[in-house]
Amino acid sequence: MRKMKMNNKNIIKDISLTFLGIGLIALGFIINKNNLSPNKIINIISYISIAIGCGFFGHFMKNIIRHFSLKNNEELVRKIEIDENDERNVLIAEKSKARAYDMMIYIFAALILIFSLMGINKLTIIFLVVAFISMQVYALYWRFTFEKKM
């Protein structure tokens, strides 16, 4: 019974945050449509509002759909928990992330090179290089951490 109350509190939170996402999307479109100012910051704010709203809507709508689809199906809940915690599935997910990361390194480096050759703003290229190096440092940190543990 207590678990059901926790789920009800969570579903109310999820519904509220889904509507917040819809509101942010609407606000972003309204700001963008009614913007007569040449100020670019207002355009940026409208796009950020739309992006955050889409993130909120998608994430919390997934939680709502999952809640109602699993509401009275204990067997399906148990099966999903087993699938999520199965070592084989976890290993497959980790290997696929590693492959995607390996590919991302080359794509990111190619984009930096292409943008440099195109003569894009130097500040933009510096941001990309800093992000690329930060990613590599973060990967090295976790590699050393895991090597110490294992």
Judge if 20 and 68 occupy the same domain. yes
Question: 22: domain range?
Answer: 1-85
For residue 144, give the amino acid letter.
F
Residue 129 sits in the same domain as residue 145: yes
Q: How far is CA 92 from CA 23, 78, 95, in A?
A: 37, 20, 5
The chain-wide mean pLDDT, for the chain, equals 88
Q: What is the pLDDT of residues 22-45, one digit of tens each?
A: 999 999 999 888 877 777 888 889
Domain endpoint, select from 64, 85, 106: 85
Tell me: pLDDT of 19 over 60.
yes
- CA atoms of 59 and 135, how far apart (whole Å): 25
Tell me: do 32 and 69 sit in the same domain: yes
Determine the pLDDT at residue 146: 87
45, 69, 85: which is the final residue of a domain?
A: 85
Q: Are residues 93 and 80 in the same domain?
A: no
Contacts of 55 (CB under 8 A, 6+ apart): 21
Q: How confident is the model at residue 4 (pLDDT cuts 50, 70, 90)?
A: very low
Closest CA to 22 of 55, 46, 67, 64: 55
The answer to whether residues 95 and 131 belong to one domain is yes
How many domains, in total, are found in the chain?
A: 2
Both 18 and 81 in a single domain?
yes
One domain, residues 42 and 11? yes
Whether residues 74 and 96 fall in one domain: no
Question: Tokens representing 65?
Answer: 């759909």
Which of 68, 85, 102 corresponds to the end of one domain? 85
- Give yes or no: residues 74 and 34 share one domain: yes
In angstroms, the first-to-last Cα distance of the chain is 42
Mean pLDDT value across residues 58-82: 88
* Confidence band of 2 (pLDDT split at 50, 70, 90): very low
- Flag whether pLDDT at 106 surpasses 60: yes
Give percent of the chain above pLDDT 90.
Answer: 55
Q: Tell me how far apart the alpha carbons of residues 128 and 112 are, in angstroms, rounded to a whole number.
A: 7
